[in-house]
């Protein structure tokens, strides 16, 4: 990109923990891989080692988190996103929103889930699934993140980083819907669709603006911002919105430096032990 182009590039800041960094050459290989990505713009890049021997990458760019993570995986590294911050640097930055997507409940699953809740203590049902906030590892279909990007001219947009690793066609066309409500019982209980964003997946991923199209619901023209997403439902359907493959709930995720945990209070696992569970379930 030319310098004049860069003035209008939408970027965001993000921090990642990076694994398998043994030396300066490892750091160089990470930087080269990231900066050589097609259509990418890196405004700032910094890899540091903390007092606790963790490798932290802080980057301001237009690169979706899922793309950055898979790029590092391709060179034998791995990364966990720790937080994001829009380039507007607002006093109170929401950070981002995230939703883990899983298959809708079947009637039989609803019955079994109610029985489990009635008969099992909380201690007995805490496992990898409940820690991730899903009912089963096998039902996970992917993850979607909503991130606010901004340019030097303070123009900002919310973009969706979609990583769906367990859909019928990972190079197919789908529809991502933002719903009015957040009842995850099934597709219909999510309520009216506020936004429908067409997805064209490439190896299960896409990066699209949230407000590219507008839909009027209850006489309101919804141009959604990050805070508007929290608590609402999201669904992944075929391009005609006839078959629903996955649903989820938008939740707030950490802003920059807002997540400093090293061990999960629920599972007792370290970040990298949790990361292994997430990778096995198909989460990027």
Give the Cα separation of 26 and 32 in Å (integer).
10
The CATH T-level fold of domain 3-93 is Alpha-Beta Plaits (3.30.70)
Percent of the chain with pLDDT over 70: 75
> Rounded to two decimals, what is the model's pTM?
0.84
Residue 2, pLDDT > 50, answer no
Encode pLDDT of 233-251 as tens digits.
Answer: 999 999 999 999 999 999 9
Give the Cα separation of 12 and 42 in Å (integer).
10
8 — pLDDT class (breaks 50, 70, 90):
confident
Encode pLDDT of 36-50 as tens digits.
Answer: 999 999 999 999 998
**CA dihedral defined by 56, 61, 67, 69, rounded to 10 degrees?**
0
Residue 184, pLDDT > 80, answer yes
The CATH T-level fold of domain 96-253 is Immunoglobulin-like (2.60.40)
Q: What is the mean pLDDT of residues 148-170?
A: 87
Say if CB 9 and CB 1 are below 8 A apart.
Answer: yes
Tokens read off for 147: 């991130």
**Mean pLDDT of all residues belonging to the chain:** 83
CATH 2.60.40.200 occupies which residues in the chain? 96-253
pLDDT of residue 231: 94
Give 159's strand partners: 147, 209
Count of residues for the chain?
A: 284
CATH 3.30.70.100 occupies which residues in the chain? 3-93
Residue 93, pLDDT > 80, answer no
Residue 125, pLDDT > 50, answer no
């Amino acid at each position: 990109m030319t310098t004049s182009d860069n003035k209008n590039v939408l970027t965001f800041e993000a921090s990642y923990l990076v694994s398998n960094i043994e030396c300066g050459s490892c750091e160089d290989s990470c930087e080269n891989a990231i900066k050589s990505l097609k259509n990418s713009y890196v405004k700032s890049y910094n890899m540091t080692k903390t007092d606790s021997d963790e490798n932290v990458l802080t980057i301001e760019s237009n690169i979706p988190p899922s793309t950055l993570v898979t790029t590092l995986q391709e060179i034998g590294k791995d990364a966990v996103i720790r937080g994001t911050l829009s380039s507007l640097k607002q006093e109170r930055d929401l950070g981002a929103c995230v939703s883990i997507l899983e298959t809708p409940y079947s009637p039989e699953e609803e019955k079994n889930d109610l029985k489990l809740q009635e008969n099992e203590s909380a201690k007995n049902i805490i496992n990898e699934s409940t820690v991730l906030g899903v009912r089963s590892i096998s039902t996970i279909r992917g993850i979607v993140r909503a991130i606010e990007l901004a340019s030097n001219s303070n123009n900002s947009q919310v973009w969706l980083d979609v990583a769906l690793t367990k859909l019928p066609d990972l190079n197919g066309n789908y529809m991502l819907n933002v719903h009015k409500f957040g009842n995850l019982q099934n597709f219909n209980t999510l309520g009216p669709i506020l936004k429908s964003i067409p997805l064209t997946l490439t190896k299960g991923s896409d990066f699209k603006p949230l407000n590219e199209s507008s839909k009027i619901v209850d006489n309101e023209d919804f141009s959604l911002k990050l805070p508007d997403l929290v608590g609402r439902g999201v669904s992944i359907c075929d391009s005609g919105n006839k078959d629903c493959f996955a649903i989820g709930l938008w939740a707030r995720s950490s802003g920059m430096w807002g997540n400093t945990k090293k061990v999960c209070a629920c599972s007792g696992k370290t970040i990298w032990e949790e990361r292994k569970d997430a990778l096995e379930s198909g989460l990027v």
